[in-house]
Amino acid sequence: MAKNLRAKIPESDILAICDLNADVKQKFVAEVNASGVEIAASPKEVAEKSETIITTLPEPQHVKSVFHNILKDGLPKSDKDRLFIDCSTIDPASSREVAGAVCLTGWGNFVDAPMSGGVVGARAGTLTFMVGASSKTPGLAQRAEAVLVLMGKKVWHLGEQGAGLSGKLTNNYLLAITNIATAEAMNLGITWGLDPKTLGQMINSSTGKCWSSDVNNPVPGVVEGSPASRDYQGGFGVSLMKKDLRLAVAAAEQSGTCLELAEKAEKVYDATEAEHRGKDFSVVYQYLLNKSL
């Protein structure tokens, strides 16, 4: 994401970066080989130097902690209202809490903009962003979109602040289920003696086609370059899928929405993570194989 951003913003603009991993920061500077990159010592330093601040963090508590530190003791005046774009996948309620803090302090505007597309999409600049932005600030969603299209291919404005996260969790709940279903279907067909590649091609020309069967097929060798064909390395980690599923289920409970498949899916990802922590979430297929033995 940051590479695409640096490549597409004006050369005169400065890109300030911050990460807990010092090696990652140094590697990024070396890879982009650009003079317009600065390493900041903290998220607050990034905010002090920037008009647009993009955050991507693992969990709600991390987002809250970072924004607490950014907003604490204030920020210097800026010629243009600061825009905080949070691309983290967290629960909508936590995002609204942070947005409220930003609004209350008056140090800028906040939008939620979680993304879909994984590591491959981030590198290729083909991510899809789901945006939630307050309609009380005219042009806020459009301003965020102008930044996000530098890192992705599609931006969906789904409504008020928090709506982007609602859309992302809806999407990832479906993805969590279709991933398990694809793994089960492929395992079933292979057990019956069908050739994996032929089976995958047939499904992808029929009504069973989905992202999990076509792009991220969980069977090694079916899709060249997929995580499954690289010992499930890279891609979207099973722990991250487990987290997104948990957030979706919690949000559904708050809204009183029935999710019949949620409990079973959570058990599957719990068991898969225990056996294959650190692997792409399509490793659910290997979990099924182990259970079939």
For residues 70 and 212, membership in a common domain is answered with no
Residue where a domain stops, chosen among 138, 159, 180: 159
The whole domain housing 54 covers 2-159
- Give the pLDDT band (50/70/90) at residue 34: low
For residues 120 and 214, membership in a common domain is answered with no
For residues 134 and 208, membership in a common domain is answered with no
Give the span between the Cα atoms of 115 and 130, in whole angstroms: 6
For residues 112 and 193, membership in a common domain is answered with no
Radius of gyration of the chain (CA): 21
Alpha carbon separation from 202 to 149, 196, 249 (Å, rounded): 35, 10, 33
Residues catalogued as catalytic: 168
For residues 140 and 206, membership in a common domain is answered with no
Residue where a domain stops, chosen among 159, 194, 218: 159
For residues 139 and 27, membership in a common domain is answered with yes
CATH of the domain at 65: 3.40.50.720
For residues 186 and 138, membership in a common domain is answered with no
For residues 135 and 206, membership in a common domain is answered with no
Q: What single string gives the DSSP state of each residue in 175-205?
A: HHHHHHHHHHHHHHHHHTT--HHHHHHHHTT
What is the per-residue pLDDT across 205-240, written as a single tens digit (0 to 9) for each? 999 999 999 999 999 999 999 999 999 998 999 999
What is the per-residue pLDDT for 117? 85
Sign of CA dihedral 163, 168, 169, 174: positive
What is the per-residue pLDDT for 251? 93
Residue where a domain stops, chosen among 159, 177, 208: 159
What is the per-residue pLDDT for 249? 96
For residues 84 and 24, membership in a common domain is answered with yes
Tokens matching residue 175: 């993805």
Which residues lie closer than 8 Å to 179 by C-beta, 6 or more apart? 212, 216, 218, 241, 281, 282, 284
CATH of the domain at 186: 1.10.1040.10
What is the per-residue pLDDT across 103-124, written as a single tens digit (0 to 9) for each? 999 999 999 999 998 777 888 8
DSSP code, position 256? T
17-21, 175-179, 217-221, 273-277: which has the minimum mean pLDDT? 17-21
18-22, 258-262, 264-268: which has the minimum mean pLDDT? 18-22
- Work out how many domains the chain is built from and give that number: 2
